[in-house]
Chains A and B, each alone.
Chain A
Amino acid sequence: MYRRGGVFTGEGVIPYTGEGSTVTAGSAVCTQIGCAYTGNEAVAYAAKQCNVDVVAAYPITPQTIIVERFSDYVANGEVDTKFMYVESEHSAMSACVGASLAGARVFTSTASQGLALMHEVMYLASGLRTPIVMGVVNRALSAPINIHGDHSDMMGSRDCGWIQLFAENAQEAYDLTIQAFKIAEDPAVQLPVAVNLDGYTVSHATENMKSLTDEDVARFLPPRKPIFKVDPSTPISVGGMALPEYYYEIKRQQEEALRQSRHVVKRVGKEYGDLTGRRYGFMEAYAMEDAQAAVISLGSTCGTVRSVAKRLRAKGKKVGAIKLWMYRPFPAEELISAIKGLKALAVMDRAISFGAPYGALCSDISSSLQNTEVKLKVLNMIYGLGGRDIPPATVERVYRDVLQAARTGKVEERVMFLDVRE
Chain B
Amino acid sequence: MVAPKDLPLQELYAPGHRLCAGCGPSISVRMALKAARGPTVVVNSTGCVEVSTTIFPYTAWRIPWVHALFENTPAVASGLEYAYEALEKRGARKGKVDIIALGGDGGTFDIGIQALSGMLERGHDIVYICYDNEAYMNTGIQRSGATPRGAATTTSPAGKVIPGKRGGKKDLAAICAGHGIKYTATASIGFFTDYIDKVRKAIEVDGPAVVHVLAPCPLGWRSSPADTIKLAKMAVQTGIFPIYEVVDGKYRMSLKPGKLLPVEEYFKLQGRFSHLLRPEFKEELEEINREIEGNYRRILGLAGEQVA
Chain A binding surface SS class? mixed
Q: Report the minimal beta-carbon distance from B148 to chain A, rounded to whole angstroms.
A: 29
Whether A238 lies near B67 (C-beta < 8 A) is: yes
Whether A88 lies near B118 (C-beta < 8 A) is: yes
Residues 212-241 (chain A) with a chain B CB within 8 angstroms: 223, 230-232, 234-241
Q: Residue on A with the closest CB to B38?
A: A232
Residues of A within 8 A of B41 (CB): 230-232
Q: Which of B39, B69, B79, B86 contacts A120 (CB 8 A)?
A: B69
* Known contacts A88-B114, A90-B115, A232-B40; A99 and B68 CB within 8 A of each other: no
Whether B86 lies near A81 (C-beta < 8 A) is: yes
Bitwise, B104-134 to A at CB < 8 A (1) or not (0) is 0000000000110110011000000000000
Q: Residue on B with the closest CB to A105?
A: B86
Whether B66 lies near A91 (C-beta < 8 A) is: no
Q: Which of A91, A241, A242 contacts B75 (CB 8 A)?
A: A91
Whether A97 lies near B79 (C-beta < 8 A) is: yes
Residues 237-272 (chain A) with a chain B CB within 8 angstroms: 237-243, 246, 250
A346 at the interface (CB under 8 A from B): no
Whether B80 lies near A84 (C-beta < 8 A) is: no
Residues of A within 8 A of B92 (CB): 103, 223
* Known contacts A237-B65, A240-B54; A56 and B118 CB within 8 A of each other: no
* Count, chain B residues at interface, CB 8 A: 48
A84–B115 Cα gap in the complex (Å)?
Answer: 13
Whether B83 lies near A238 (C-beta < 8 A) is: no
Bitwise, B74-111 to A at CB < 8 A (1) or not (0) is 11111110111111011011010100000000000000
A100 at the interface (CB under 8 A from B): yes
A104–B78 Cα gap in the complex (Å)?
Answer: 13
Q: Report the minimal beta-carbon distance from B138 to chain A, rounded to whole angstroms.
A: 11
A402 at the interface (CB under 8 A from B): no
B55 at the interface (CB under 8 A from A): yes
Whether A124 lies near B79 (C-beta < 8 A) is: no
Whether A232 lies near B39 (C-beta < 8 A) is: yes
Whether A56 lies near B55 (C-beta < 8 A) is: no
B43 at the interface (CB under 8 A from A): yes
Q: Residue on A with the closest CB to B118?
A: A87
B159 at the interface (CB under 8 A from A): no
- Interface stretch, picked from B56-64, B190-198, B253-261, is B56-64
A54–B84 Cα gap in the complex (Å)?
Answer: 10
Whether A82 lies near B82 (C-beta < 8 A) is: yes
Whether A53 lies near B64 (C-beta < 8 A) is: no
Q: Report the minimal beta-carbon distance from A244 to chain B, rounded to whole angstroms.
A: 11
* Known contacts A80-B89, A104-B86, A237-B61; A124 and B39 CB within 8 A of each other: no
Residues of A within 8 A of B95 (CB): 232
Q: Report the minimal beta-carbon distance from A242 to chain B, rounded to whole angstroms.
A: 4
Whether B72 lies near A91 (C-beta < 8 A) is: yes
Whether B84 lies near A102 (C-beta < 8 A) is: yes
Residues of B within 8 A of A53 (CB): 83, 86-87, 90
A96 at the interface (CB under 8 A from B): yes
A96–B77 Cα gap in the complex (Å)?
Answer: 10
Q: Which of B64, B78, B80 contacts A235 (CB 8 A)?
A: B64
Residues of A within 8 A of B114 (CB): 87-88, 91
Whether B83 lies near A54 (C-beta < 8 A) is: yes
Whether A98 lies near B55 (C-beta < 8 A) is: no
Q: Report the minimal beta-carbon distance from B88 to chain A, rounded to whole angstroms.
A: 10
Q: Residue on A with the closest CB to B89?
A: A80
Q: Report the minimal beta-carbon distance from A181 to chain B, rounded to whole angstroms.
A: 15
* Known contacts A87-B118, A94-B72; A242 and B79 CB within 8 A of each other: no
B71 at the interface (CB under 8 A from A): yes
Residues of B within 8 A of A234 (CB): 64
A281–B180 Cα gap in the complex (Å)?
Answer: 52
* Known contacts A99-B79, A99-B82, A241-B50; A124 and B68 CB within 8 A of each other: yes
A115–B227 Cα gap in the complex (Å)?
Answer: 47
B205 at the interface (CB under 8 A from A): no
A378 at the interface (CB under 8 A from B): no
Q: Report the minimal beta-carbon distance from B192 to chain A, rounded to whole angstroms.
A: 25
* Known contacts A235-B62, A241-B54; A99 and B83 CB within 8 A of each other: yes
Whether A240 lies near B118 (C-beta < 8 A) is: no
Whether A95 lies near B78 (C-beta < 8 A) is: yes
Residues of A within 8 A of B79 (CB): 54, 56, 84, 94-102, 106
Q: Report the minimal beta-carbon distance from B33 to chain A, rounded to whole angstroms.
A: 12
A85 at the interface (CB under 8 A from B): yes
* Known contacts A124-B68, A241-B51; A103 and B63 CB within 8 A of each other: no
Q: Report the minimal beta-carbon distance from A100 to chain B, rounded to whole angstroms.
A: 7
Residues of A within 8 A of B56 (CB): 240-243, 246, 250
Whether B82 lies near A84 (C-beta < 8 A) is: yes
Residues of A within 8 A of B51 (CB): 241
Q: Report the minimal beta-carbon distance from A331 to chain B, rounded to whole angstroms.
A: 31
Whether B59 lies near A240 (C-beta < 8 A) is: yes
Binding site for A on B (CB under 8 A): 39-41, 43, 50-51, 53-57, 59, 61-69, 71-72, 74-80, 82-87, 89-90, 92-93, 95, 97, 114-115, 117-118, 121-122
In the A-B complex, the 9 residue pairs with the smallest Cβ-Cβ separation, listed nearest first, are A98-B79, A240-B54, A232-B39, A87-B118, A102-B83, A95-B79, A94-B75, A94-B72, A91-B75
